[in-house]
Amino acid sequence: MCIARTRRVPHTWRSPFNIDPGMIPSVSKSRSDTKTQVIDGLARLRAAFPLEQRLRDATPAVRATYAQVLAHWRRAMPPSTCAFNSNALSALVQLDAVTTDAYGLGCYPFSTHNTGMRVTLPYGTVHAMCAIDALAIARLARARTRIDAACTSCGAALAFEVEENGSLDHDQVEMARVIWQHADDIHTSASHGLCRRILFLCRACPVAQTGEHFTLPQATAIGNAFFGFQSALLAAQTGQTA
């Protein structure tokens, strides 16, 4: 039997609204639009899925439960729904901050089922909700990760590593791209709509004219900034180091 644990936790956390300069790839004269693409992509992602704002507006009890769920996933330990306050968990589902299905309890960027994007950490393997999510897990988990995925167009196997600080070494920069296929969302959960359109594309396959595409460093910077609030929230709610 699972027993929910409760504890007094702080009610607020400091949220990084400005992008950490370390999350933005360096800009050369030949690619002066790199930073602009990252900032614009981040803004569109936050507009399409305002996860941070939803949690800022949530009650302290709901945020505390969210932090507990996320803490499990950051250690590659998928949690059980019965370990948490049911009312708070229901509120998180309504906010689409967590997902519940036959596979278990998911929490962006972590998926409960095989999305085809496997992320290996030192203490276990998880699946990511989308390509940007996969790239963001290393910085969130504070651990080097290996990502195994497939090109959404030709199915070619892709594998690369992200450092603990969320960066990729130069040799991996051109190994793949991330594409964001635009479409009208009819799903209540980002996991069933938005996430299924943010995918990896190998360097041999052409990029479609519709939607957006990012280099791996650009997509990593977007993911690190989008999920950057989670580390601060964990530090405030559970005492884990940000």
Secondary structure of 125-187 as H, E, C letters: EEEECCHHHHHHHHHHHCCCEEEEEECCCCCCEEEEEECCCCCCCHHHCCCEEEEECCCCCCC
pLDDT in tens, 133-182: 999 999 999 999 999 999 999 999 999 999 999 999 988 999 999 999 98
Cα separation, 79 vs 69, whole angstroms? 7
Secondary structure of 198-237 as H, E, C letters: EEEEECCCCCCCCCEEEEHHHHHHHHHHHCHHHHHHHHHH
Q: What percent of the chain has pLDDT over 90?
A: 72
Distances, alpha carbon 49 to alpha carbons 36, 95, 126, 130, in Å: 20, 10, 22, 13
pLDDT in tens, 214-227: 999 999 999 999 99
3-state DSSP assignment of residue 88: helix
pLDDT in tens, 22-65: 444 444 444 458 889 999 999 999 999 999 999 999 999 999 99
Sign of CA dihedral 224, 192, 234, 69: negative
Residue type (1 letter), 165:
N
What pLDDT does 4 receive? Answer: 38
pTM of the model: 0.85
Distances, alpha carbon 35 to alpha carbons 19, 170, 209, in Å: 11, 17, 21
- Cα-Cα-Cα-Cα torsion 124, 128, 132, 138, nearest 10 degrees, comes to -10
Q: Across-strand partners of 115? A: none
Query: Which domains, ranges and CATH numbers included, belong to the chain?
Result: 33-237 (3.30.450.410)
* Contact residues for 234 (Cβ-Cβ < 8 A; gap 6+): 67, 70, 71, 74, 240, 242
